[in-house]
Amino acid sequence: MFRLTLFLILIFINFSIYSQITQKEVIDKLIAASEQIKTLKYTLKKWERIEGKMEFGHLMCKLQRNPLKIYIYNYAPDVGAEVLYFGGNKTALVNPNKFPYINLNLDIDGSLLRNKQHHNVTSSGFDYMAELLKNAKKKFANDIDKSLKLEGTIKWNNKDCYKVVMENPRYAIQSYTMQPNETVLQVAQKLYVSEYKIVELNKGIVSDPLSKAPGKTIKVPSDYGKRIVLYIDKQSFLPVVQFVYDEIGLFEQYEYYDLEINPKFPEKEFTKEFEGYKFK
């Protein structure tokens, strides 16, 4: 009996050792899972720091990755507002559900559609975070084990999740000289940082992601965040909660609910004529 018990204990220990997953493997699986997505539907609750205050948003999103098509319905703060986007365009069709009560074609990075928004419509889904993680893996390849930690598991919204924390002690605010015809958005994309953060740091020089300031020296963050915390669903390996902190504190928080991976959408799902949409 003793031998049998000892044998079972050894099997359990060996299984535990070989079944453990590392933080790098979790991130690799997250990136791979995001790349397997063809269509997506979810509800998002978000908190973004705008002018020192955490602004709340609540929306439903439907997305097709290739070609990129996105529909968003807002529950808060602009209840009933709808956005329809087709990949390759610089504008999106918007039903504001308020005055002037007509459809508007708005620049996805213009001040009207980006008002109190950290991101534009094309950042919907998980590709944006996956690209940030890919860049971080390259940038911090030599000391990724120091900055990336798997802090066990956590239960969130009845889902078993891995808690992954990325600490960046080298995060800093740096100087950058704007090039001719370069927009804030292009700078942010080149440096893998937030365009909203750049605008926030440079009031009086730039006013929105499309601003240009050739030859001007501006402040930019060295990285997207000083600390990033992800709750990653053990089943889907997609991040269901994201916290991003900067030098001030919490910069943005995103929570994903009712996540449907690769649902089948009707042919007219991403048209303004689709039943249930209220585009005029």
Residue 113 located in a structural domain: yes
Residue 200 located in a structural domain: no
Quote the CA–CA distance of 187 and 120 in Å, as a whole number. Answer: 15
Quote the CA–CA distance of 28 and 118 in Å, as a whole number. Answer: 26
Residue 199 located in a structural domain: no
Contacts of 233 (CB under 8 A, 6+ apart): 159, 160, 161, 239, 240, 259
Count: domains in the chain: 1
Residue 206 located in a structural domain: no
Quote the CA–CA distance of 268 and 71 in Å, as a whole number. Answer: 12
Residue 1 located in a structural domain: no
Residue 40 located in a structural domain: yes
What single-letter DSSP state applies at residue 184?
A: H
Residue 207 located in a structural domain: no
Position 253: which residue type? Q
Q: pLDDT per position in the chain (280 positions), as tens?
A: 545 444 444 444 343 333 489 999 999 999 999 999 999 999 999 999 999 999 999 999 999 999 999 999 999 999 999 999 999 999 999 999 999 899 999 999 998 999 999 999 999 999 999 999 999 999 888 787 788 999 999 999 999 999 999 999 999 999 999 999 999 999 999 999 999 999 999 999 999 999 999 999 999 999 999 999 999 999 999 999 999 999 999 999 999 999 999 999 999 999 999 999 999 8
Q: Which domain holds residue 245?
A: 23-171+223-261
> Nearest-CA neighbor of 147 among 137, 161, 160?
137
What single-letter DSSP state applies at residue 132?
A: H
Residue 184 located in a structural domain: no
Quote the CA–CA distance of 175 and 178 in Å, as a whole number. Answer: 10
Quote the CA–CA distance of 180 and 280 in Å, as a whole number. Answer: 40
Question: Residue 141 maps to which CATH number?
Answer: 2.50.20.10
